[in-house]
Structure 1
Amino acid sequence: MAATGFAAQSILRRVVPSFLSFRPTTHVVGDVFSGTNLILRTPLHPSVFGICSLPQAIKGDADILLKGVGDKNTIEDVKRIVELAKRASLRQEVLHTDFLTPPVLKESMLVLERLADLKTVALGGYPEAERCRLSVGHPEALTNDPDNVAALSISGNFSFQPCSHGDFLGAILGTGIARNKLGDILLQGEKGAHVLVVPELSDFLVSALDKVGNVSVSCKKIPLLALEYEPPRTKSSKSIEASLRLDAVASAGFKVSRTKMASLISNGDVRVNWSTVTKSNTTIKTGDMISVSGEGRLKIGEISSTRKGKFAVELIRYL
């Protein structure tokens, strides 16, 4: 999965002595999009190695850091996470984001690892989690993996009425919970599903969720170690394309006509790296994840040029 290389990892860079007295606390932030303006009296100078301190970022260098963001669709989200990191470092506490999509998580980790007096940990509940929460704090405050992900088991008789990932997601969101409060949903076949969620909403879901589709369900908390999951099954193929347009590559990967794929794109049924794309001529690159409603997911592998000026594209289809 896209977040495999980042989940269950911590990034620790050299520590610049803090100006503040050390009062470690832990604070859970339900909304990472709120911010406060902080002013530091004594600025630090940039490191010759390109590693900034958080005080530097507070004084305006955050914009410089964001110039290195490769996925421009994530800039606003990454900027808010940098603001969260600034507050965590200056207040000597640990703060948590909600669940992040893989592109936002990846770009945030790449930016935050350049900040000296900060430690970050990404956790999604299990090693191959796709959606993860990011915890940030001063290294002296963030000494252990945070307990910021809870697991629930949703069970019912799905033998005669199988439910999809979308059915479980729709039922959970129908209780009023926002999407960014939910992590991955792990289908368990006829038994139901295991769901990752922010801990503060686990009790609410246990009491509020009573039906998925037309199936009555019960919901209970389970330890993270009780999660049941399997690595995704994939099938790889190669296609020779005249261009790297989204409609051309996706139609080859999902084995549908280009006309149908163009219609799906214009209707808003296609996402690239978890963002809806409505232009068929969007350029695709290695590492992109293409999701099509009703068709599944496709990851773009290695892309190479042929002697005739075309493109040999590796297509990794999730089964």
Structure 2
Amino acid sequence: MNIYQHFRPEEREYIDQVIDWKNYVETHYTPKLTDFLDPREQHILKMLIGENGDVRYSLFGGTEGVERKRAYIFPDYLAASEDDFQISLFGIEYPAKFVTIEHRQVLGTLMSLGLKRGKFGDILMKDGRIQLFAAKGISDFIKSNIESIGRAGVKLVETDITHAIAAKELWNEQDLTVSSLRLDTVISGIYHISRQKSLTYIQHGLVKVNWTVTENPSFACEAGDMISVRGHGRAKIIGIDGKTKREKWRIIAGKQK
């Protein structure tokens, strides 16, 4: 059976990588730790490794409720602990009384260092406090290279991950029935807007799927996809429960509160 037919063509390279990880663990009896994966990548990894084989996986992103997580892939006779994920937590100290730092500015600063997105996890913000998770391997690098974010001078202070800001996933889950899994149809159902309006948002570049602008209204949505519509917030496809007797799709979607 062709495994690629169950996924998108552009995901083939990542699928090959997951298969390589699995084969490495099987062959060398040695665990494999990945970079931070987005929810869609986590979904694919779960599908490919499965739950009952000789190779197991565990996912952890630093605290409960975060989106981006590292995968620890290991032989079934081992077990995973939080230390195995090698995650550092940084607090960002800055003059909060005088300046405001936005999520996109923190992300932009990290990316400007030439880091791959997979090297750091969620950025947490609450009541002026800002924290971020990063792979331990780049801890010294970001501490020594980030001195400002936007116009604010900052200092990164590493702290124990038990001190992370609570990152509870606040999603309103809903069961929907849609005529197809096309992006414009799914957006219409999740956000309770007309099909024409969802089409307009897509065509004007206001829609992202898995953090990438998607201007194709016929893009086929799948489980694990994160969707954002500018001005309407974020949503995710939690699950797809097959078709009804009338050939409509049943999906479980979460919309951010």
* TM bucket normalised to smaller: 0.7 to 0.9
Query: Which of structures 1 and 2 has the bigger CA Rg?
Result: 1
Partner of 2:71: 134
Alignment partners' CA distance in 2, 1:196 and 1:110: 26
Counterpart in 1 of 2:41?
104
Q: TM-score, normalised by structure 1?
A: 0.65
Cα distance change of structure 1 residues 245 and 156 upon mapping to structure 2, 3 Å threshold: same
Larger fraction in helix = 2
Q: Is the contact between residue 40 and residue 226 of structure 2 (CA under 8 Å) also seen in structure 1?
A: no
Q: Distance in 1 between matches of 2:170 and 2:204?
A: 28
Q: Which is further off, 159-168 or 144-153?
A: 159-168
Matched, 1:183 2:121: yes
The C-alpha deviation readout for 1:223-269, integer Å capped at 9, x for no partner, is 11110124233456788977664335425655777666434423544
Give 1:163 deviation, angstroms: 2.8
Alignment length (residue pairs): 254
> Which residue in the other structure is 1:151 paired with?
89
> Which whole-Å CA distance do the structure 2 matches of 1:240 and 1:110 have between them?
24
CA deviations on 1:94-148 (whole Å, 9 max, x unpaired) are: 22111111111122122212673323222211122211111223345x4442142
Structure 1 residue 305 displacement after superposition: 9.1
Q: Distance in 2 between matches of 1:111 and 1:310?
A: 27
Structure 1 runs not aligned, ≥5 long: 1-63
Inter-partner Cα distance in structure 1 for 2:58 and 2:242: 35
For 2:19, the equivalent position in structure 1 comes to: 82
When the two chains are superposed, the root-mean-square deviation of aligned CA atoms in Å is 3.6
Which residue of structure 2 lines up, in the alignment, with residue 166 of structure 1? 104
Decide whether aligned partners of structure 1 residues 233 and 105 sit closer, same or farther in structure 2, where only a CA change above 3 A counts: closer
* Paired residue secondary structure (2:34): strand
Structure in which a larger fraction of residues adopt strand: 2
Deviation of 1:221 after TM superposition, in Å, equals: 0.9
Identity fraction in percent: 24
Seen in structure 2, the aligned counterparts of structure 1 residues 159 and 257 have a Cα distance that, compared at 3 Å, is farther
Give the whole-Å Cα distance in 2 for the aligned partners of 1:303 and 1:93: 36
1:221-236 equivalence runs, <5 A: 221-235=158-172
TM-score by length of 2: 0.78
